[in-house]
Structure 1
Amino acid sequence: MTQIRIEATDLPGRTFGPGDDHPVHSGVHVGVQRRGRPGELLDLHPGDAPAAVWTLECTLKGRDITGPYVEGRPGGRFVYLSWGTLDERGAFAMFRRAKLMFDGIGADVLDAAVRSGLLVARLRLTDSRGGPLCAAVRPPLITWSARAD
């Protein structure tokens, strides 16, 4: 068994917008979406937290990564970070997602992760316009490494 640790910094804040294509979002939070279950999120972090860390169990077989939080088909796997608002009752309403794409992980890093048991992703969660990072995220926006924990 291997783990993926996502280490995120520079979160965009608890309020986002308005913009040309979206209203104001207040109570912004981010979490990891479980595969096939958009409403099931791991470890919600407020948008103004100094950092956010998630640890996911996964299986590495050759160059393929699978697990309960890993989406996509072989060769196109990724993890969703879901951005949404959390209301006073604790209900989460997603408004965008970031896809942490695995296709940018080097073979040497994957081999080292198999040996060490830990694959680490580091990224900033604020995009170039000051909002929550979204869309497909690949290097140089994310760095992947392997290390022993």
Structure 2
Amino acid sequence: PASAFQFDPVELTCICPTGEKLSYRGQRKTDNGKIRVHFEGRLLQCRHCPKKYRCMQNPSSADHRNGAGRQVSFIIENKRLPNYTDWMKHRVDSPKGKEIYSHRMSVVEPVFGNIGTTKRLNRFSLRGKKKVQGQWQLYCLVHNIEKLANYGHLVAS
């Protein structure tokens, strides 16, 4: 299905399940005003592909010169052009993106919560990039020292 393909609405690219880049074949308006973007695999890519029998409706068309590779299309929901926010939503909603983003709560967010709420750093008291960076590093240092004090010492092996 088309959901197995990686569609990038910002760059208008499409990658098939085996990792091959499909050629952009243009876009057309549908009857209801939405835009449909079309892609097609190259004939030689699909001819020797191990997934062509599951991927193509007519896999034998890739075996002769006048045939065509896999064709797939995607609907761009609204009339505005896709932007990087759409691209990021697509990446975060993918299975790999969900796996990576699920680790954020255990790695990054507690640090910002501790420094912002417990240590009450809601704004920097210094001006200038170097001074602000030094103040931020000081807060991070205090956070890491508290972690060592609360959860034990490093084990040297």
Larger Rg, first or second structure (1 or 2): 2
The structure whose RCO (Cα within 8 Å, separation 6+) is larger is 1
Looking at secondary structure, tell me which structure has more strand per residue. 1
Common fold, TM-score beyond 0.5?
no
TM-score by length of 1: 0.26
